[in-house]
Amino acid sequence: MVGTSELMESPFLDLNNGSSVVEKILAEGFNPASVVPEPLPPVVMTNGEDHGDGEEEVVVGGNIKIKKREIVLGRNVHTTCLAVTEPDANDEVTGDKDAFMASVLARYRKTLLEKTKYHLGYPYNLDFDYGALGQLQHFSINNLGDPFIESNYGVHSREFEVGVLDWFARLWEIEKEEYWGYITNCGTEGNLHGILVGREVFPDGILYASKESHYSVFKAARMYRMDCVKIATLVSGEIDCSDFKDKLLVNKDKPAIINVNIGTTVKGAVDDLDLVIQTLEESGFSHDRFYIHCDGALFGLMMPFVKRAPKVSFKKPIGSVSVSGHKFVGCPMPCGVQITRLEHINALSRNVEYLASRDATIMGSRNGHAPIFLWYTLNRKGYKGFQKEVQKCLRNAHYLKDRLRESGISAMLNELSSTVVFERPQDEEFVRRWQLACQGNIAHVVVMPNVTIDKLNVFLDELVEKRSTWYQVDKVQSPCIAAEIGAENCVCKIHTR
């Protein structure tokens, strides 16, 4: 337990000699631009949702064995947190604290630059320049209530928000007078809202989602106390409509609320929306007995620019679509876009007198800066700009997949995806260096507009060099991941004989 006297002491003052700790740090050659090393996180046994038994199948000597799977949690930030402290009485004179904070921020900026340099595993487009919007950072912009109804709070950006929504409404083919939507605080909020609308339309409906859906879908089911049925997937990660049909028929007496993935989290698989609708119809569900939410977090903005991709359109019997704004679009803060049919939103909306508006969102306050950033990017790039970036990402993803296979590394790339799946690196330090997302025996790289061929080459060269030490002849062999990516994509010894 920390004593009262310890709490009263300032961390910037050395009570033994009265000198400033900041002065000591600077005198000792403190480099504010240095990157603070991070300890490796602990290893724990999994109890994840997709592998509730904490077990996995592994191939050893051609035989299948069951073993407990371990996962690595991120480090405990409390061990390296930056404490908030009270200013010393003489700080205004000495400027010690200002100097200390400036040094911390300078070092943090250096860390961000370094982390961005080695970022490959998560779907964030880090290629953006919003210098022109710096002049707006002095304002507290809050889009309270309904985007289409101005509230009493005047420092808002509704004009930008509705402009962005109209752009996406055109993309997904729904008329202005037929849709409702808003700029969410993240992709998860889009899923929470879309599924909530489905639950309000069908209070006794059952939620169906493939087992490779984003965890926020199952979080929604828990939050809303909904019955949820998990659907099997194909090796590609796409929903297995045969299993979907079997489970629909078991619950034929209740309406269906379906989450359709426009790009799964791990494998980037795109569910066939037309086949999902066909399966519902063949199972006896008329259009007034199902609600489809399309989770397009990343690929929802990429698929419209891929000719052979299943089209996401409100001309089809879907209820809502959500997409993240900080992923393919490229936005410096988490945000997203959620659009649904106007006819569905009345069940959710409530008038709020003190706002002079109504609310049908998940959150009350919303980041008013996000719509401006999105509006700025959409205006600069337009449909043609995004089409070029999609083509670049798909081309670079194929390059990465081909290079991995040429290097004897098992790898898979879905036809409509820029997510390259490959065998999980054996070194967790390597995983953290490149910020790879891992699940079980596989990892992935999400090729975004900011990921260049040069960056991929650096990653590949380092991976190949590391593998030469991980897998040595007659000692440890590279794993078989045919179960995760298909035998045709696996280059382990079993599948290359």
Based on the domain organization, do 143 and 247 belong to the same domain? Answer: yes
Which of 380, 397, 416 is the last residue before a domain boundary? 380
Residue 143 domain boundaries: 136-380
Torsion of CA 119, 124, 125, 131, to 10 degrees: -100
Is 447 inside any structural domain?
yes
Are 157 and 179 within one domain? yes
In single-letter form, the type of residue at position 108 comes to Y
Backbone angles phi, psi at 368, to 5 degrees: -80, -15
Other Cβ atoms within 10 Å of 469 Cβ, number:
10
Residues 281, 283, 286, CA angle at the centre, nearest 5°?
Answer: 40
Q: Residue 196's pLDDT is what?
A: 97
pLDDT, tens only, 254-275: 999 999 999 999 999 999 999 9
Q: pLDDT over 70 for what percent of the chain?
A: 85
Query: What are 412-432's pLDDT values in tens digits?
Result: 999 889 999 999 999 999 999
Average pLDDT value over all residues in the chain: 86
Top pLDDT among 32 and 97 is at: 97
Confidence (pLDDT) at 323: 96
Q: Answer whether residue 310 is part of any domain.
A: yes
Identify the CATH number of the domain in which residue 376 sits: 3.40.640.10
- Is residue 471 scored above 70 in pLDDT? yes
Q: Which of 324, 303, 325 is CA-nearest to residue 313?
A: 303
Task: Please give the average per-residue pLDDT across 303-328, as a whole number.
Answer: 92
From 48-62, 170-184, 292-306, the region with the lowest mean pLDDT: 48-62
The pLDDT of residue 34 is 52
Please indicate, yes or no, if residue 344 is contained in any of the structural domains.
yes
Instruction: Summarize the confidence of residues 369-382 as an average pLDDT.
Output: 94
Tell me which of 380, 413, 441 is where a domain ends: 380
What pTM, to 2 d.p., does this model score?
A: 0.84
Share above pLDDT 90 across residues of the chain, in percent, rounded to a whole number: 62
Does the structure show a pLDDT above 90 at 367? yes
**96: nearest Cα among 21, 202, 200:** 21
Q: 331, 357, 380: which is the final residue of a domain?
A: 380
Q: Is residue 282 part of a domain?
A: yes
Q: Is residue 5 part of a domain?
A: no
CB atoms within 10 A of CB 442: 22
**Same domain assignment for residues 418 and 318:** no
pLDDT confidence bin for 474, thresholds 50/70/90: low
Residue 314 in 3-state DSSP?
coil
Structurally, how many domains does the chain consist of? 2
Of 115 and 34, which is predicted with more confidence? Answer: 115
Each residue of 9-58: pLDDT tens digit?
A: 333 344 344 444 444 444 444 454 555 555 555 555 544 444 334 444 44
286 catalytic per annotation: no
Catalytically annotated residue among 216, 324, 357, 417: 417
Higher per-residue pLDDT: 468 or 164 = 164
User: pLDDT digits over 224-240, tens only?
Assistant: 999 999 999 999 999 99
* CATH code for the domain in which residue 400 is found: 3.90.1150.10
Spatial distance between the Cα atoms of 376 and 1, rounded to a whole number of angstroms: 51
